[in-house]
Structure 1
Amino acid sequence: MACAGCGTGVEGKPSGCKSNGGCSTGGCNRLNVFDWLSNIPLGDSLAPFDIIEVSFNNGSRKDFFRNVTKQLFDKGEMVTVEGVSGFDVGTVSLTGELVKLQMKKRRAEDTPEVKKVLRRSTNDDLQRMNDNKAREREALIKSRALARNLGLEMKLAEVEIQADGRKATFFYTADDRVDFRELIKVYASEFRAKVEMRQIGARQEAGKVGGIGSCGRELCCSTWLSDFKSVNTTAARYQNLSINQAKLSGQCGRLKCCLNYELDTYLDALKDFPDDADNIETAGGVAHLQKRDIFKSLMWYSYEGSNKQYPLTISRAKEIRQLNRQGVKPDDLKPVEVVTAKPKEADLGYADVVGLISLKSLEKTAQKRKQKDKDKQKQQKTGEQKQGQGSAQPRTEQPKGNQRPDNRQQQDRKPKQENRQQQQRQPGGNQPKQGREQQPRPEQGSRSEQGPRQQGQRQQGPRQQGPKPSAQPDQPGQQPDQTGGQQGSAPRQDRRPPRHKHRPGNPNRNNNPEK
């Protein structure tokens, strides 16, 4: 058996149906009519009511048909009924004695002109219905284009094609009267069916389209509401609602139908409030009524030119109004004190620790990170400043790896300088090479500045007993000269000065007669 509302499903089990013909594909909620008289047995002399209610097009249209076949139909079964020049296929939505109440509500009379139920729907009937239903979407698009070409001010909401395809009903909305005589001829020739134009309101259109309301539930007009009553702004004023069209309007663009749901309750509560107490006079001036609070039975007044409001009880407002009729103006309104009691805290079964958890550890880490970032920025700035200053000042040469500090170099040069002086004074001594004098030596400038040194000054530093024997050069390719130094480099302290012939009578070679 197919789904009662949407016609989908296989034999024996509806597809996605919830219960009794209602499925999750949409639109079948209209069929959820509870038959509260179905379990009540009838008397032996009474026969069951022979008229059933059948719904079409997912419950958007319902009609009554007489069951002449004397078969027992259950809710949700597919039946084939009489149509316009043919047959139509619908779903049984209601049977039994409750149909009488529905007919009375919809003002339908039990006359012999009521259409008949032909049979239970066969597979051929269902296949033909599905084929014609598949054409409805394409027909709606094409019909809108044809109406636009003719320049008609109308909006087509839905197209319903009969199960046998011999009739097409076009539902449209329009603000003014529409002359669609030419349009019917175009539709009849285009769709090859009998055309019926039916005008509906904005609320019916929203019911056919469907949607979700501001309350979060499916629209009432698309589920259960079938009787649309007029709604005006007076209903909102009785309920003390702000007249805001954006909040009070539904998806259809009209005022919400739910404004009428609680209107009777508000009207009953407003019967206790006085009708002629809109303005009351006191010694301080005339007080005007601002609002009525039916839940607390209070009336709020305010003076002219003041925004402060004073709540009065119903009895006090009636009393002041009675005094004004007598020409008496009370000194004060005597407003009541409105105490807003805090709601009792329910025991939720757990401790509320909001605001009790300390996040100081996280704050400290964040502060440390910020401080580190600031220090890095400062270091970068100082480094850039130092680089700028270094580029402006001349660079001083640093001693190389094979060179030693100045104090040690000076101590190593002392015996060599003395030996050179002795060689110059000896007649047969070895003379230095000619090329040697031309080469500039780094220690010449220091020798002229130092001046004569005493013998005791040589004993400064760790090497007091004289120079050590010469060692091999550290780097290959560098050969020591006759004086023990490397070519083009400073002399090393580990090389012993060469032996020379001394004068007779001078046993100490280091003894300088000039000193």
Structure 2
Amino acid sequence: MPKYVVRYGVMRHLGVFSSRGREIFSRGRRVIARTGRGQEVGDVLCEATEHVLTQIEDPRTGQILRPVSHAEEVELRHLADQVVRDRAAIEARIAELGLGMKIVDIERLYGGERVVVYYLAEDRIDFRELVRFLAKDLQTRVEMRHIGVRDEAKLLADYGDCGKPVCCNTHLSEMPPVSMKMAKLQKATLDPTKISGRCGRLKCCLRYEYDTYQELRRELPPVGRQVLTRDGQAKVLSQEILTGELLVETAEGRRVVINAADVLSVLAKSDRASEESASGEDSKKQTAPESAAPARSRDKRSQRDREAPPDASADPSKRSRRGGRRSKGGGDVARGGQDPAKPDPQQPDHPPGDSASGPPSKGTQV
């Protein structure tokens, strides 16, 4: 069963439709097809080969019912006149309800299953009452579609500044965002009147070569970087991405244009500063142990001071214990840990003429 790529609807959807019979449809043939919305009229673009299918992302599917006959062509013209009358009725209802919306286009499906209304609005619109009135007036199902300015250009625009049909109305199924960064990278003029499309936004074609520009720019030294050439060291001032040329300034102050292939190497940012910082770090590493040694000794001394016991005069019990330990080693400490220079309060006073600090008697245990 042959398959064909068919464009249908006012939004120019792309679908891969199968044919019921063995009839061959040539390019541009108008057919009646069954889509997810109902019976619609579409144009055959080509046969859906494997190569073509790789170029279409998430295509809609359907079935080709028959080619459009002469009688159906006449019916389609009457349907176009009916759309004009439907638009007038819809705009009258919108004005009656005072809704802040603008009708862009109206689509009435060939099979009569529904009427699709495409509109613009800055704020969210509550159109439930409008839909009830329209369903009664048009005697069919009404579907409201809120679109953006790019979709408006897709519906109404014809040709672009290049002289060809606008991209959004021919081959673009999705319209990704375009930023000013893309225009700056390609060195396009920043005049909004020259880089804006029919929708008033940045042209979609600015995105087409953006990936190529990015890939080529990676092969060039960045602006502001120091490079080494056959004539010596120079600074990159600007790039010509497509031609692969650089505008550089030499150490003598001359500005010359060179080819990127003439660049021998790309120097790091401020090599001299990095060398100075490296030498400074080495000197710091050498002086660090010397300065750290006295600091560690001071820390140890302060730690010993914190860990040292309080003064012996503050606690008599600690004095006695310490005195007992020292007496075992044969020190000059009297019994009970008392200082020999001080009299024992529990002993009687020495007789007159004797010194309290004199040598102990033979019967005294030392």
TM-score range, shorter chain: 0.5 to 0.7
Aligned letter for 1:156? I
Is the CA contact 2:9–2:40 (under 8 Å) kept in the aligned structure 1? no
Aligned letter for 1:151? G
Is the CA contact 1:81–1:90 (under 8 Å) kept in the aligned structure 2? yes
- Correspondence 1:288-367 to 2 at 5 A: 291-294=238-241, 295=243, 297-299=245-247, 310-311=255-256, 313=258, 321-322=267-268, 324-327=270-273
Q: Provide the secondary structure at the position in 2 that maps to 1:75.
A: coil
Q: Decide which structure has greater strand share.
A: 2
**Equivalent pairs, count:** 265
Change in 2 beyond 3 A, CA 1:115/1:300: same
- Correspondence 1:109-258 to 2 at 5 A: 115-258=62-205
Aligned letter for 1:299? L
Q: Provide the secondary structure at the position in 2 that maps to 1:135.
A: helix
Is the CA contact 1:69–1:117 (under 8 Å) kept in the aligned structure 2? no
Separation (CA, whole Å) in 2 of partners of 1:154 and 1:309: 61
**Where does structure 1 differ by over 4 angstroms across 4 or more consecutive aligned residues?**
83-86, 287-290, 311-323
1:181 Cα offset (Å) = 1.8
C-alpha deviations, 1:267-293, integer Å up to 9, x for none? 233123223x5376xxxxxx9976323
Separation (CA, whole Å) in 2 of partners of 1:250 and 1:212: 10
The share of aligned pairs that are identical, in percent, is: 26
Change in 2 beyond 3 A, CA 1:85/1:234: closer
Aligned letter for 2:120? T
- Correspondence 1:428-443 to 2 at 5 A: none
Change in 2 beyond 3 A, CA 1:315/1:325: farther
Is the CA contact 1:79–1:119 (under 8 Å) kept in the aligned structure 2? yes
- Correspondence 1:41-80 to 2 at 5 A: 48-49=1-2, 51-57=3-9, 60-80=12-32
**1:272 aligned residue (219, 235, 238):** 219
Aligned letter for 1:225? L
Aligned letter for 2:30? M
Structure 2 unaligned regions, length at least 5 = 227-233, 276-366
The answer for the alignment partner of 2:339 in structure 1 is none
Structure 1 unaligned regions, length at least 5 = 1-47, 281-286, 303-307, 330-515
C-alpha deviations, 1:216-260, integer Å up to 9, x for none? 333222233334222111111211234333322111011111112
Pick 1 or 2: higher relative contact order, CA cutoff 8 A, min separation 6: 2
Root mean square deviation, CA, Å: 3.8
The answer for the alignment partner of 2:33 in structure 1 is 81
1:158 Cα offset (Å) = 1.2
The answer for the alignment partner of 2:360 in structure 1 is none
TM-score when normalising by structure 1: 0.44
Change in 2 beyond 3 A, CA 1:144/1:224: same
Separation (CA, whole Å) in 1 of partners of 2:24 and 2:162: 40
Separation (CA, whole Å) in 2 of partners of 1:202 and 1:78: 29
Aligned letter for 2:139? R
C-alpha deviations, 1:191-236, integer Å up to 9, x for none? 2221112233322321221233223333222233334222111111
Change in 2 beyond 3 A, CA 1:321/1:97: closer
The answer for the alignment partner of 1:425 in structure 2 is none
The answer for the alignment partner of 2:327 in structure 1 is none
C-alpha deviations, 1:144-176, integer Å up to 9, x for none? 343344333333221111124342111223344
Separation (CA, whole Å) in 1 of partners of 2:270 and 2:90: 68
